[in-house]
Amino acid sequence: MKKTIFKTTVIIVLMIWLSPIFAQNQLTGTVNYHADPGTPVPEVTMQLLDMSNNVIQTTMTNDYGEYFFDSIPNGSYYLASSTLLDPGEVTLQDAFRIMMYLFGWYDFTDYEFAAADVNGSGTVTWTDYFIVLINYLLQGQPFPVGDWQFQDVQLDFMARDFGVPDTAKVWATGSGDLEGVWLPSGRSLANVTGQVSNQVSLSSETSEIEITSNYTELISGFNLNINYPSDLMTITGVEGPDGNLNYAIEEGVVKIIWMDESEKAGSHVYGDHLCTLLVNLKVGALQDQSDVMVLQENGMVLNQWGVAAEGVEIQLPELKSGEFTTIGTALTYPNPVINQLNIRIDSNEGTLFIYDLSGKLVQQTNLTAKNSGVVSINTDQLNSGSYTYIMRSDLPNQENITGRFIKSE
């Protein structure tokens, strides 16, 4: 009888001691975009890891953003979340909101802070602002931190009532998306449209094309992506309301972005005149050729409060080729050239422009009277191929000079 009592006591003690180790727990929850229950995120891979970074279980959220883990031993864990879905759209409004935070005029929620920290430094600084504005919106570069951010969730399971699961809600955000508008199928951002207005006749002389709109109120920023006929014209510069305008020129597309970065943003620039393109007729363009510029759908004009204005129409001109005034010629040597091109002309007070075959300006040199006779141009940085040069004189009654040369290796 004593032995039986002793065995029973040992078994009970072992069960009490081992029960926390072998206890089975459950975890359920949802993943919502910006913690909004109305915007669940499906197809999120959820990993349950112990504190040694060992993966204990893996599951995926359903169409309602729900996930479930079963049979979890007692212990400490954390959740790691990821998805291959496209994140929310990042727009100029998001960059504006980061700027307002940096000026101390806007407070972030946890998920807004995570969205704004696009370089993953753990802080939000002007570096993050310029990564969103320039690297991402203007240049199309990905965010250093990746596309998605999810809430950090740590769990500590002790003994639980059988059949009663723990719950953990997880917020998600796309990097850079402070506005928090996410649709699995994407959304239309056609806030601005383009309209053909007047006709501009292009020549070898620089023409100024005014980009205007029907929005005459105060603005705090804009970004425009404009398709232009690269076989008809070259763009040599873009001028904006102040020094905060940035632009990038790709083959047939000019991307323009401007933000009022003063602490009184939206207080002094109006939307009727946005910027000025400096353009030239492309060398070799056909006579009497005409074409139009086309505005891409992802443009935006921000009103004085940093919100996208609706119903904005951008006036773009019809373009027509005129005549080149360049009729002079010059002697160039050596041709082909390797590292130094010499151009022999009589008078050199002006500017020398060099264009590649696509019409892109690749080099510009300002000339003075001391260059008279022979101009020497360093061509080390040019790729192999054919180039056109134009020397536009600053002197009265002086013709422009044009010519071609070949760069060899």
Give pLDDT tens digits for 138-174: 999 999 999 999 999 999 987 555 556 789 999 999 9
Helix count and strand count (H, E) for the chain: 4, 29
Q: Is it the case that residue 232 has pLDDT exceeding 70?
A: yes
Q: Is residue 168 part of a domain?
A: yes
Q: Is residue 140 part of a domain?
A: yes
Using 50, 70 and 90 to split pLDDT, how confident is the model at 320? confident
> 153 or 354: which carries more pLDDT confidence?
153
Same domain, 332 and 390: yes
Q: What rounded mean pLDDT belongs to the chain?
A: 84
Residue 363 sits in a domain whose CATH number is 2.60.40.3080
Give me the helices (H) in 150-285, please. none
Same domain, 163 and 38: yes
Name the nearest CA neighbour of 71 among 146, 6, 160: 160
Q: Is it the case that residue 281 has pLDDT exceeding 80?
A: yes
Please state whether the predicted TM-score (pTM) of the whole model is above 0.75. Answer: no
Residue ending a domain, among 293, 321, 349, is 321
Q: What residue numbers bound the domain in which 100 lies?
A: 92-147
Same domain, 160 and 270: no
pLDDT of residue 18: 43
Same domain, 205 and 298: yes
Q: Is residue 403 part of a domain?
A: yes
Residue ending a domain, among 295, 321, 347, is 321
- Residue 98: both structure tokens together: 């980061």
Q: Is it the case that residue 90 has pLDDT exceeding 90?
A: yes
Q: What is the dihedral of CA 111, 116, 120, 125, to 10 degrees?
A: -130
pLDDT of residue 195: 81
Q: Is it the case that residue 3 has pLDDT exceeding 50?
A: no
Same domain, 74 and 157: yes
Q: What residues pair up with 392 in beta bridges, in sequence order?
A: 351
Same domain, 34 and 168: yes
Q: Is residue 7 part of a domain?
A: no
Same domain, 118 and 208: no
Q: Is residue 8 part of a domain?
A: no
Q: Is residue 314 part of a domain?
A: yes
Same domain, 22 and 170: yes
Q: Is residue 292 part of a domain?
A: yes
Q: Could you give the number of structural domains in the chain?
A: 4
Q: Is residue 9 part of a domain?
A: no
From the centroid of its chain, how far is CA 366?
Answer: 33
Same domain, 104 and 168: no
